[in-house]
Amino acid sequence: MSGSSQEIEIKLAVAGAAEARKLLYPAGFRIYKRRTFEDNLVLDSPHLDLRKRAELLRVREAGGKTLVTYKGRPIPGRHKSREELEYEGSSARAVTAVFERLGFQQVFRYQKYRTEFKQSGSKGIATLDETPIGTYLELEGSPKWIDRTATKLGFAERDYITASYGRLYLDWAKRHHRRPTNMVF
């Protein structure tokens, strides 16, 4: 998706990719985009101005494409909701160089394998994210679709995760008594 939109999503922790597929297939989900490796660079000013405002600037390489994403400040609620602006760049190296010239620098790098799933006739999307700190399902769509789908998959509102992968990684590093660096394989 490119241009401006409102992203509404939650994450759900799952035991692994096989377990996630066992939930998705009986609920009518089928692979929409095959498993792809993603390398994500989070950029910010030297004073972390974007982080302080709960905003995000990300450069993602996946499947031979470079996607630049800006995410606005989240709107409080049980679902993560915020503005999302995206465009395709020529290369991660070129895009990152432009942002570096503007005073931004890489502050975090995270990697994952992502598989996207859809249900026939549905506008929502379920993504299976395999990360170095665990496996997550992301449900993105309308709040009603998210709630209905989470329930159908066996989850309750108390299972909803609205934290970013950066926050999840910091929490994981603290629990495992590790100095946080980057979330890479």
Q: What is the pLDDT of residues 7-22, one digit of tens each?
A: 999 999 999 999 999 9
Q: Is residue 100 assigned to a domain?
A: yes
Mean per-residue pLDDT of the chain:
96
Q: For residue 1, is pLDDT > 50? A: no
Q: Is residue 156 assigned to a domain?
A: yes
Q: What is the pLDDT of residues 100-112, one digit of tens each?
A: 999 999 999 999 9
Q: For residue 122, is pLDDT > 70? A: yes
Q: Is residue 183 assigned to a domain?
A: no
Q: For residue 2, is pLDDT > 70? A: no
Q: Is residue 181 assigned to a domain?
A: no
Average of pLDDT values for 76-81?
Answer: 94
Residue 3's pLDDT is what?
Answer: 56
Q: Is residue 91 assigned to a domain?
A: yes
Residue 4's pLDDT is what?
Answer: 60
Q: Is residue 123 assigned to a domain?
A: yes
Which two structure tokens, joined as six digits, stand for 92? 């991660």
How do strand 56-62 and strand 29-44 relate by DSSP bridges? Answer: antiparallel
Average of pLDDT values for 28-53?
Answer: 98
**Would residue 49 be called left, alpha or beta, if left means φ above 0 and alpha means ψ between -120 and 50 degrees?**
alpha
Structural domain that includes position 19? 3-175
Q: Is residue 184 assigned to a domain?
A: no
Find out whether 113 and 35 touch, Cβ atoms under 8 Å: yes
Other CB atoms within 10 Å distance of the CB of residue 15: 10
CATH number at residue 93: 2.40.320.10
Confidence of residue 153 (pLDDT cuts 50, 70, 90): very high
Could you identify the residue written with the tokens 């990719």? 17
Q: How many domains does the chain have?
A: 1
